[in-house]
Structure 1
Amino acid sequence: MPIDYSLYLVTGRDLLPEGTTYLESLEESLRGGVTVVQIREKHAGTLEFLDIARQSKTLCDKYQVPLIINDRVDIALAVSADGVHLGQTDMPVCTARSLLPPNTIIGVSCNNLEHVQQAIKDCVDYVGIGAVWPTGTKQLSNPVIGVRGVGPLLAALDGTTIKAVAIGGIKSDNLLRTLHGSISPSGHKLDGIAVVSEIVASREPFKISGTLRDTFAAWNAYTMKQEAKPSVVYTTENVKSGVADLMHVIRTTNPLIHQITNVVVTNQSANATLALGASPIMATAPEEMEDLSRVLGALLINFGTIKDKEGMILAGKYANREKKPVVFDPVGVGATQFRRKTAAQLLNTWQASVIKGNAGELGALAESQEVQAKGVDSVGIGFADPAKAVKDLAQRERCVVALTGKTDWVSDGTTVVRLDNGHELLGDITGSGCMVGTCIATFCAAAWTRASTENGPGMLVRGDMLLGAVGGILALTIAAEAAAYRSDVRGSGTFLPALIDELYNLKPETVLEKARIQVTS
């Protein structure tokens, strides 16, 4: 019979809350919706392990849920378990296969591509990929791979029948991030999640199991619905008109744009937000993030000075929970190892809607050797094929990517938009790139508002964020062209206030007339 791996419970008796017995917790978990149980007993003697396994098998049979034994093939044989799970230092798969009855399930822990490739050669039934998040339930012998490390391992399973579950630190508050981020570029998704402490340590295992199972089922239903939708076809004209519509939404709804940004640009970013017709709030205290997530239209995280990492982590998590757009501007990410590590931590913790950066910054995120960074600036000639670069990174990060420069490029992983507006004076003022991030966040807030009105609260479609990114870039670059040719602008000092003026006076019809864009796929 096909195995439902969607909610895979790994036991750990040492985590049980005081006053709760192992069998009580296990039965409540099974009633709540656990679909597979793995008995993990690293410190029990053989007789004790055997007794626990027998009692567990009786309960699992009652609820028609497969029982897997961790490591111990002899215990699995003794209790007629449905399968075994093997670590990288446990008995080889071929040996276990020779000892076990036909059709016994065999799963293997995998932490890297080599592990997955060997599992494929061994013809295992499933792989456990992780650890995805830091976990305290076991001593890790391999590094945490992070949510963004799961996709490449899933890609290796393309064309096989091997199932995959993610394991390591998965909880209800990071489950959606795990599911959304753990997809290969080809669309290969997880077949389930393996959970330990979130269920075992809970005083309400029935309730938490049901929540996890329902969340996984809802996610699957949502992704299947999205996959069944016809692809959005973008043209030059409908992108322009879409941006013009978003300008109307901004002016009529006055969205709140929460910005955690660097100290160099706080004032001008706030003024740019106001000029577009939105409201800025430049809050950084971690204690404020949950409340703000409920009322904001979009969140911008610009880590140019990286002073508020805890606030950035919480702000992104809560914005994800509320299904609000998150724009990430990894300023100078290629300059130091600390910046690269911080960017990875943030992107593994929450899902960005848009990542915006110059060639040096996006090159660092993509681990490309084509471009280098000098501080916050790019050096060299840039990407040989910028359209491919943004498309590939958008597919990998599962979001819209905006590459800024003399020519700007935006992609959602399928469509690529080239934008040729702007003026060289933008490069002569501090923080013009940061203002682009502000404008993108403002337009993404409008896109979210429009999508919520049309489809119900928080039901974002990918195209909304593509239009948001294109709109934010066009607003600033077209305003820059108008400001640069004003008679009162004599250099960078007079250009900045003129730029704010032109953002304030920008009209949708001006964008329709002046926008120079090309749409490709």
Structure 2
Amino acid sequence: MSATKPTVDYSLYLVTGRELLPEGKSYLESLEESLQGGVTLVQIREKNADTGEFLQIARDSKAICRKYNVPILINDRIDIALAMGADGVHIGQTDMPVDLARKLLPPNAIIGMTCNTVEHVKRAVQVGVDYVGLGPVWSTQTKKVAHPVVGVRGIGELLEVLEGSNVKAVAIAGIKSTNVLHCLHGSVSPSGRPLDGVAVVSDIVASTDPLNAAKRLSTKIKAFYSTPSPPVFSLSPSPYIADALKQSVGSLLSAVKEYSPLVHQITNNVVTTQSANATLALGASPIMATAPEEMADLSKAAGALLVNFGTIQNLDGMLASGFNYNQNRKPVVFDPVGVGATQYRRTSAAALLNAWQPTVIKGNAAELGALANSNEVQAKGVDSVGQGFSDPAAFVRNLARKERAIIVLTGVKDYVSDGTVVVRLSNGHPYLGEITGSGCMVGTAVATFCAGASMAAASKRGDDAPEDGRLVRGDMLAAAVGGVLAVTIASEFAATRQDVKGSGTFLPAFIDELGALTPEKLAERANVEIL
């Protein structure tokens, strides 16, 4: 081993697995190409090789890693690490205790440990490991796991334990170039402590072109770490100014009318017509499609996606849609209608949020309270019961940090936050509460404004712009605020019309007023406070 403990870049951590190699690709050839593609740390894992074979593989691997100045670790086998002079070891929960491994290994050895629970992480910090492997993030065919899938949203809870320590963290299991940005973006502690990297197996080892497989991962990882943290959801200067926000919202309404984006909506069948009409009124084009087979194509054509599971009829379509829109870096708006009403809705919401990363999560107090596991507000079907949150501003800010998304809390007053800025909106008319689907149309309007924001940003950026680590581009905080204001302000204009006599005549007038909105009307009527 080297005289001093090496400085380790954990960002793209390759774990080998010779059994996954494609036909015609040798192990050492694959390893070298992966290093050329950007792998920064290598762990040699050999579960079936005898000691002599393992030792030879480790020595040959070390020679290649040294060519690229990349540290090499050995999985589990302290004897192999000592015999071939590895930079350290990785051990599991049932392997040799860390304190004994420290006694056997040189003091400069790197020691990492697999951790699946908060207690595992606490113990790892106590015994002084250098890094932890957190997961499994997703299920994987590479390795049978003894613990349940943690999921992207569960990694943040584990990272929280590491705050204040020098222990590094990588996510493990099921990570590929197609989900690495979701993993990095979503796996952050409430105070913003991110991962230090990701561990990858099959996406590189099983590839016929490991150099480019590693390069795809490395490019996305580097872009993510070069992006300001927390992610930039807002493009306005800080501190946020209400007048500037109103101006941004007006610009996004103009962008919707200019680009007329396609807005893909998987929504409940009670409000499909109203949602489509609202989309058209704002200047965009709706498409309602649920089949999983359509999602790859639609995600390339549409400007944004709304997933509203008021009537959960095609969960597979919902899972596929968000994943594909993440791949194309398009905004995803999630409206978890009635999520607290049944266990099926709660498990479905968890599955969706671990499969893809929403840009905006919109809901009433009961729905968002259920996502946050809060007992402050109770649900009655799709409605909220009780006085509401004691501090709604703090609630939306904290939930935005936890979910790494814009949070829209609807009610008598609406609250919008990206985890830093909190905006309180005080527009609307009681008639909104007397028609079916008004909340769902808020989700539609938010998705429409997000599509406008995304298309405007793409137009300014150009196709040849360098890669960045954002899941979406555009002012998504302003888009979320704009969607809420469009509905609430249109309701105020509609309610005062002479032809409106009640909720029955209100709905068509409301659609008319959505279509008549202008940036000037929004700016004049918007009651916006920055908290």
Using the size of structure 2 for normalisation, the TM-score is: 0.93
Cα-to-partner distance string for 1:275-303 (whole Å, 9 max, x where unaligned): 11111111212222122222212111111
CA positional deviation for 1:477: 0.9
Tell me the distance in 1 between the aligned counterparts of 2:136 and 2:326. Answer: 22
Tell me the distance in 1 between the aligned counterparts of 2:242 and 2:37. Answer: 50
The answer for the alignment partner of 1:505 in structure 2 is 516
Tell me the distance in 2 between the aligned counterparts of 1:463 and 1:138. Answer: 39
Tell me the distance in 1 between the aligned counterparts of 2:43 and 2:191. Answer: 30
CA positional deviation for 1:176: 1.1
The answer for the alignment partner of 1:471 in structure 2 is 482
Tell me the distance in 1 between the aligned counterparts of 2:269 and 2:341. Answer: 18
**1:154 lines up with 2:165 in the alignment:** no
Q: 1:44 to 1:88 in 2, by over 3 A?
A: same
Tell me the distance in 2 between the aligned counterparts of 1:179 and 1:438. Answer: 28
Q: 1:456 to 1:234 in 2, by over 3 A?
A: farther
Q: 1:510 to 1:154 in 2, by over 3 A?
A: same
**1:414 lines up with 2:420 in the alignment:** yes
> Partner amino acid for 1:279?
S
**1:141 lines up with 2:152 in the alignment:** no
CA positional deviation for 1:30: 2.4
Tell me the distance in 2 between the aligned counterparts of 1:483 and 1:213. Answer: 52
Cα-to-partner distance string for 1:348-390 (whole Å, 9 max, x where unaligned): 1221111100001000111111111121111121111111111
Using the size of structure 1 for normalisation, the TM-score is: 0.95
The answer for the alignment partner of 2:16 in structure 1 is 11
CA positional deviation for 1:230: 9.3
Tell me the distance in 1 between the aligned counterparts of 2:408 and 2:473. Answer: 14
Q: Percent identity?
A: 62
CA positional deviation for 1:409: 0.7
CA positional deviation for 1:152: 2.3
The answer for the alignment partner of 1:181 in structure 2 is 186
Tell me the distance in 1 between the aligned counterparts of 2:286 and 2:231. Answer: 32
The answer for the alignment partner of 2:432 in structure 1 is 426
**1:343 lines up with 2:349 in the alignment:** yes
The answer for the alignment partner of 2:526 in structure 1 is 515
Tell me the distance in 1 between the aligned counterparts of 2:445 and 2:508. Answer: 16
Q: 1:382 to 1:201 in 2, by over 3 A?
A: same
- Of 236, 251, 261, 1:255 maps to 261
Q: 1:225 to 1:114 in 2, by over 3 A?
A: closer
The answer for the alignment partner of 1:201 in structure 2 is 206
Mapping of residues 118-129 of structure 1, within 5 Å: 118-129=123-134
Moved more, 171-180 or 492-501: 492-501
Moved more, 374-383 or 149-158: 149-158
- Of 272, 282, 291, 2:278 maps to 272
> Partner amino acid for 1:112?
T
The answer for the alignment partner of 2:403 in structure 1 is 397
> Partner amino acid for 2:523?
L
> Partner amino acid for 2:127?
D
- Of 494, 498, 509, 2:505 maps to 494
Q: Secondary structure at the match of 2:162?
A: coil
Q: Secondary structure at the match of 2:43?
A: strand
- Of 313, 317, 326, 1:320 maps to 326
The answer for the alignment partner of 1:299 in structure 2 is 305
- Specify every segment of 5 or more residues in structure 2 that has no aligned partner in the other structure, as ranges: 1-5
Q: 1:94 to 1:182 in 2, by over 3 A?
A: same
> Partner amino acid for 2:514?
L
Mapping of residues 27-426 of structure 1, within 5 Å: 27-223=32-228, 232-426=238-432
Tell me the distance in 2 between the aligned counterparts of 1:426 and 1:462. Answer: 31
Q: 1:82 to 1:132 in 2, by over 3 A?
A: same
- Which one has more relative contact order, counting CA pairs under 8 Å at least 6 apart? 2
Tell me the distance in 2 between the aligned counterparts of 1:325 and 1:428. Answer: 30
Tell me the distance in 2 between the aligned counterparts of 1:319 and 1:32. Answer: 26
Cα-to-partner distance string for 1:113-142 (whole Å, 9 max, x where unaligned): 211111111111111111111111111111
> Partner amino acid for 2:301?
V
- Specify every segment of 5 or more residues in structure 1 that has no aligned partner in the other structure, as ranges: none
CA positional deviation for 1:95: 0.7
Q: Secondary structure at the match of 1:156?
A: helix
- Is 2:236–2:244's contact at 8 Å kept on the other side of the alignment? no
The answer for the alignment partner of 2:3 in structure 1 is none
Tell me the distance in 2 between the aligned counterparts of 1:486 and 1:495. Answer: 9
Q: Secondary structure at the match of 2:208?
A: coil
CA positional deviation for 1:109: 0.5
- Of 22, 29, 34, 1:24 maps to 29
Tell me the distance in 2 between the aligned counterparts of 1:397 and 1:20. Answer: 41
- Is 1:116–1:153's contact at 8 Å kept on the other side of the alignment? yes
Q: Secondary structure at the match of 1:141?
A: coil
> Partner amino acid for 2:63?
T
Tell me the distance in 1 between the aligned counterparts of 2:241 and 2:442. Answer: 23
- Is 1:163–1:191's contact at 8 Å kept on the other side of the alignment? yes
Tell me the distance in 1 between the aligned counterparts of 2:456 and 2:474. Answer: 12
Aligned residues: 519
Tell me the distance in 2 between the aligned counterparts of 1:231 and 1:504. Answer: 30
Moved more, 400-409 or 454-463: 454-463
Moved more, 125-134 or 203-212: 203-212
- Is 1:412–1:463's contact at 8 Å kept on the other side of the alignment? no
Q: Secondary structure at the match of 2:19?
A: helix
CA positional deviation for 1:47: 2.8
**1:482 lines up with 2:493 in the alignment:** yes
Q: 1:178 to 1:493 in 2, by over 3 A?
A: same
- Is 2:30–2:205's contact at 8 Å kept on the other side of the alignment? yes
Tell me the distance in 1 between the aligned counterparts of 2:473 and 2:427. Answer: 24
